[in-house]
Structure 1
Amino acid sequence: MATGFFWDERCFWHAGGNYTFTMPIGGLVQPLAAGGIPENPETKRRLKNLMEVTGLIHELDLRSADLASREALLRVHPESYIDEFKRLSDAGGGELGLRTPFAKGGFEIASLSAGLAVAAVDAVATGTLDNAYALSRPPGHHCLPDYPNGFCLLANIAIAVEAAKAKGLAKRVAVLDWDVHHGNGTEAIFYDRDDVLTISLHQEGNYPLETGAVANRGKGAGEGYNINLPMHAGSGHTAYLHAMDRVVIPALEAYKPDMIIVACGFDAAIIDPLARMQATAATFGEMTQRIKETAERLCDGKLVLVHEGGYSEAYVPFCGHATIAALAGSQTEAPDPLAPAHHNRQPTPAFDAFLRQSIDAMAEQLNI
């Protein structure tokens, strides 16, 4: 029994083709990483490299996985979408939705990314592993059943949830999304269902602009089983921990899931280029510790984290290391290189009090 780490070198090879170029690459025209999209492989590769250097990786059960099967994909995505994605991928790549470019072979790499999540959830649900981290790439939480966006081509977590349900491994699943961008895809897939609780902590007014309101609680059988917490820009360490204690953990305790899955983005970090939050590596480590303890109380510790966003090549590795060390109960550390400056970058006491009061107000609106 151990903490699993699911990864595959092929996921680092996902690319956006010539997405940002008006001229063909080659000759003296050097391609950008991943074709110029912010979602590039280095944040993930450097996280794995850091764990190798510190030795944390030797405390984990390293695994890869098969590509998610067509049957698994079709539980979430319509056949027309899967067929068109595959056709374009075989033809050299393209773009199906908004900000979702992919190169030749992108379909297979996205299926592998989903497969890592499927395998991680399966191993934890069956008791093969205590808990697990899936270093999935491309990410998945923005992907709707028939429309990808925000770098997400397949709904990795939803595919994994449905695969576990099809095997009878889980009846009630909670998905907590702490990526700084609203988990609109996961929300949409389960919006009218009560067998999956979706919770999203995200920066208010970030991507996507039109989703993620507190008032969006689900519909039909899913009414009350979708929770959005749009947090103010500038929210830092104490605000995130307050959100966990005031909203997330009470909601999980009320729901009593069989398993908890975290959409684990690191873009709420203090120097991320696509957000304006002030979380630190310690924030992610402490949130992971809190959710791990909650899973131990509620569902025999069945907890899986699936990688989503995070765009600082320098800082994501330290956030990820703190997270995975907490998940594994490891004492192996990677000291945060920004720690000496954190106290000058966190919200002032007055602003922090305002942030916590806004979370309290949303909790009351949510009846939590």
Structure 2
Amino acid sequence: MSTALFWDERTMWHGGGNYAFTVPLGGLVQPLAAGGLPESPETKRRMKNLMDVTGLTNDLHVTSAEAATHDQLLRVHPQEYLSKFKALSDDQGGEIGHHAPFAKGGYEIAALAAGLTTAAVKAVLKGDHENAYALARPPGHHCEADTPMGFCLMANIAIAIEAAKAIRPDLRVAVLDWDVHHGNGTESLFYNRPDILTISLHQEGNYPLDTGHLADRGTGAGEGANLNLPLPAGTGHTAYLHAIDRVVTPAIEAFNPDLIIVACGFDAAAVDPLARMLATAETFREMTLKIKTLAERLCDGKLVLSHEGGYSEIYVPFCGHATLQALSGSKITAPDPMARALTNRQPGPRFDAFLRGEIDHMAQQLNL
């Protein structure tokens, strides 16, 4: 089994306590599932359930892992932050940063989510598996060193990278973030590092509002090792694939990594409630195939996907199934029940030409 799926039901038990993302609770506002978090366990759990029902999980090596250790967390997050998080978690939960609430026990669940991504990276680097997918929550790509935000409490991918580099200091890693929101946390943690390439494809001005600009290229020794591609609202299937071909592929080729990690959010899908993009399950399948082929060419297929956002309980499972099917090479598919409707909603020829032109213009400004 060349593809591993790192999964643990315990990470589905993360909740937001008595907090809501967009509206206050109380009065006439009925409490919502997961404490009001749009980042619901059901999107991930239903994705796993769909793979179980179709049989795709039989073509994967499904396993869990230990939580990230305190030493591993300290390589990314300062002790002051970890102590404050742990104290609130041991009490009744709360919120430290921005839109990142947690319930009692949230610290241990976040550490487990980071541990699943860390184990996935280590397994691929050791050669135990050609590639891997970490299906866990809470997500991590918005979390900065001492500031959790956007549902993210620990920087899962950064923690995994630093754990790997503690064993192999010369490791070069390319991180591609195709979550619809800017990967500001991952960017901030590696912004001055020449050994980590960070690329974010995101809807311009969605979240966070003040990050993810094309001109943000890194600083000091890391100048040029950060790329942002802020895409216009309405970007659809062909333009996303064009961005992979025109920007992502040449950038990663030039960097020549030992490992590629994808921050895999499915919120660029056309039906997602927190974005305004028009990607489909087929978009994610084809992007995965392109990055898998790139990894095979550059770094012996060493590729890890770590789950991030995606908020449609109905559609995330089909996007995830298409991604894991492409990653593993399995013959088992789950026909997209919304394929026809979403194909009809794709940008027309004139708007699609505009979108591709915008991507070409950004590529030129990035010297690609």
Aligned twin of 2:45: 45
Aligned twin of 1:270: 270
Asked whether the 8 Å contact 1:271–1:312 carries over to 2, the reply is yes
1:149-205 superposed Cα distances (whole Å, 9 cap, x missing partner): 000000000000000000117610000000000000000000000010000000001
Compared CA separation, residues 108 and 170, structure 1 to 2 (3 A): farther
Q: Residue 94 in 1 paired to residue 102 in 2?
A: no
The CA deviation at 1:343 is: 2.6
Aligned twin of 2:226: 226
Secondary structure at 1:330's aligned position in 2?
coil
1:219-259 superposed Cα distances (whole Å, 9 cap, x missing partner): 00000000000000000000000000000000011000000
Asked whether the 8 Å contact 2:260–2:304 carries over to 1, the reply is yes
- What is the 5 A alignment of 1:167-186? 167-168=167-168, 171-186=171-186
Aligned twin of 2:319: 319
The CA deviation at 1:331 is: 1.3
Q: What is the number of residues matched between the two proteins? A: 364
The CA deviation at 1:74 is: 0.2
The CA deviation at 1:216 is: 0.2
Secondary structure at 2:362's aligned position in 1?
helix
Asked whether the 8 Å contact 1:133–1:307 carries over to 2, the reply is yes
Looking at structure 2, the residues matched to 169 and 317 of structure 1 have their Cα atoms a distance apart, in angstroms, of 36
Secondary structure at 1:199's aligned position in 2?
strand
- What is the 5 A alignment of 1:47-66? 47-66=47-66
- What is the 5 A alignment of 1:119-158? 119-158=119-158
Looking at structure 1, the residues matched to 79 and 37 of structure 2 have their Cα atoms a distance apart, in angstroms, of 27
Looking at structure 2, the residues matched to 228 and 22 of structure 1 have their Cα atoms a distance apart, in angstroms, of 36
Looking at structure 1, the residues matched to 130 and 284 of structure 2 have their Cα atoms a distance apart, in angstroms, of 20
Secondary structure at 2:267's aligned position in 1?
coil
Aligned twin of 2:242: 242
Counterpart residue type for residue 255 of structure 2: Y
Counterpart residue type for residue 154 of structure 1: M
Looking at structure 2, the residues matched to 57 and 329 of structure 1 have their Cα atoms a distance apart, in angstroms, of 12
Counterpart residue type for residue 54 of structure 2: T
Asked whether the 8 Å contact 2:263–2:305 carries over to 1, the reply is yes
**Uncovered stretches (5+) of structure 1, i.e. residues with no partner:** none
**Uncovered stretches (5+) of structure 2, i.e. residues with no partner:** none
Looking at structure 1, the residues matched to 242 and 224 of structure 2 have their Cα atoms a distance apart, in angstroms, of 21
Looking at structure 1, the residues matched to 47 and 339 of structure 2 have their Cα atoms a distance apart, in angstroms, of 18
The CA deviation at 1:32 is: 2.4
Looking at structure 1, the residues matched to 347 and 238 of structure 2 have their Cα atoms a distance apart, in angstroms, of 9
Counterpart residue type for residue 267 of structure 1: D
Looking at structure 2, the residues matched to 200 and 149 of structure 1 have their Cα atoms a distance apart, in angstroms, of 17
Q: Residue 197 in 1 paired to residue 191 in 2?
A: no
Q: CA RMSD of the aligned region, Å?
A: 1.2
Instruction: After superposing the two structures, state which structure 1 stretch, 341-350 or 48-57, moved more.
Output: 341-350
Counterpart residue type for residue 212 of structure 2: G
Secondary structure at 1:271's aligned position in 2?
coil
Aligned twin of 2:256: 256
Counterpart residue type for residue 158 of structure 2: A
Counterpart residue type for residue 110 of structure 2: A
1:99-151 superposed Cα distances (whole Å, 9 cap, x missing partner): 01100000000000000000000000110111000012000000000001000
Counterpart residue type for residue 254 of structure 2: A
- What is the 5 A alignment of 1:345-360? 345-360=345-360
Looking at structure 1, the residues matched to 271 and 9 of structure 2 have their Cα atoms a distance apart, in angstroms, of 26
Deviating above 2 A after TM superposition, structure 1's stretches of 4 or more consecutive aligned residues are 20-24, 29-32
Looking at structure 2, the residues matched to 75 and 195 of structure 1 have their Cα atoms a distance apart, in angstroms, of 16
Aligned twin of 1:106: 106
- What is the 5 A alignment of 1:323-338? 323-338=323-338
Compared CA separation, residues 118 and 89, structure 1 to 2 (3 A): same
Aligned twin of 1:344: 344
Secondary structure at 1:260's aligned position in 2?
strand
Secondary structure at 1:53's aligned position in 2?
helix
1:52-74 superposed Cα distances (whole Å, 9 cap, x missing partner): 01000110001101010000000
Secondary structure at 1:176's aligned position in 2?
strand
Asked whether the 8 Å contact 1:126–1:169 carries over to 2, the reply is no
Secondary structure at 2:102's aligned position in 1?
strand
Counterpart residue type for residue 159 of structure 1: I
Asked whether the 8 Å contact 1:51–1:321 carries over to 2, the reply is yes
Report % sequence identity.
70
Asked whether the 8 Å contact 1:76–1:158 carries over to 2, the reply is yes
Secondary structure at 1:94's aligned position in 2?
coil
Aligned twin of 2:292: 292
Asked whether the 8 Å contact 1:68–1:115 carries over to 2, the reply is yes
The CA deviation at 1:22 is: 3.8
The CA deviation at 1:330 is: 1.0
Looking at structure 1, the residues matched to 273 and 25 of structure 2 have their Cα atoms a distance apart, in angstroms, of 24
Secondary structure at 1:17's aligned position in 2?
coil
Looking at structure 1, the residues matched to 25 and 186 of structure 2 have their Cα atoms a distance apart, in angstroms, of 34
